[in-house]
Structure 1
Amino acid sequence: MDDEPEILAAWRLILENEGYEVGCASNGVEAVVRAATRVPALIITDWMMPLMDGPELCRRLKAIPELAKVPILMHTAVPPPEGAVRNWDVCLRKPVGAELFLTTVAKLCRQRH
């Protein structure tokens, strides 16, 4: 999930071309509902999003027993502030190259299985 639709569309295309099944949400509230309906292998989120920011999304996902162990990749231009509670597994700062992004996604998906 990303707050910029064109970035979301680009990463979706890249991931699908690598063989991943991708579901997207336009905001944090929708992301919680979608993830709870069909537990994903990985959740990718941005720090800044409408309705619910990335840190709050991560907090809520980790509070749902079925989703607590799903790895979360924070993909953001805004660095997490010092002392922020880290309810995500990896944080990649934008802009990030496709190779690092895909390597990180593969690693996190392997951790889940």
Structure 2
Amino acid sequence: MKSAAIMHTILLVDDEPEILTVWRVILEMEGYGVVCAGDGVEALAKVESGHVDLIVTDWMMPRMDGGELCRRLKAMPEFANVPIIVHTSSRPPEGNGANWQDCLRKPVDAIVFLTAIAALVKDAGNK
């Protein structure tokens, strides 16, 4: 499954370096640009310093968790329309779905992961 010729940049946010490494390699093999962050604080800095088309974030992380990251991004007009996938081993609290577009439970199959990303990048490009 190769992505479109246009390279999209994805920000991966997770406090587990092994998860970041595996998904970064898979996404790069699919033709995506990838930026990684270890928590929400680092993710905000990376988003503010460069362009990203999609964010995939863990839910439970130190310093700033995925829920707070989503809330802060959606409150910033310049990032409010960047699609977000929550990638977590726990279920995010109900009622916060307006802050993200999809939630994938760990472990997730690579095909499911890539399909969700491709759909959101395509949708974001059509807006």
TM-score normalised by the shorter chain: which range applies?
A: over 0.9
Please say if 1:74 is aligned against 2:81. no
Aligned to 2:29: 17
Cα offsets for 1:32-86 (capped at 9, x unmatched): 1111221310001000111100000000011111100000000000101234454
Question: How many residues are aligned here?
Answer: 113
* Structure 1 gaps, min length 5: none
> Structure 2 length as normaliser, TM-score?
0.85
Aligned to 1:53: 65
Aligned to 1:43: 55
* Structure 2 gaps, min length 5: 1-12
> Structure 1 length as normaliser, TM-score?
0.95
SS at match of 1:22: strand
Partners of 1:44 and 1:108 lie apart in 2 by 11
Partners of 2:72 and 2:93 lie apart in 1 by 19
Amino acid at match of 2:37: A
RMSD: 1.1
CA contact (8 A) 1:59 1:87 kept: yes
Please say if 1:92 is aligned against 2:112. no
User: Identity of paired residues, percent?
Assistant: 59
Amino acid at match of 1:79: R
Q: Which has the higher strand share?
A: 2
Amino acid at match of 1:60: R
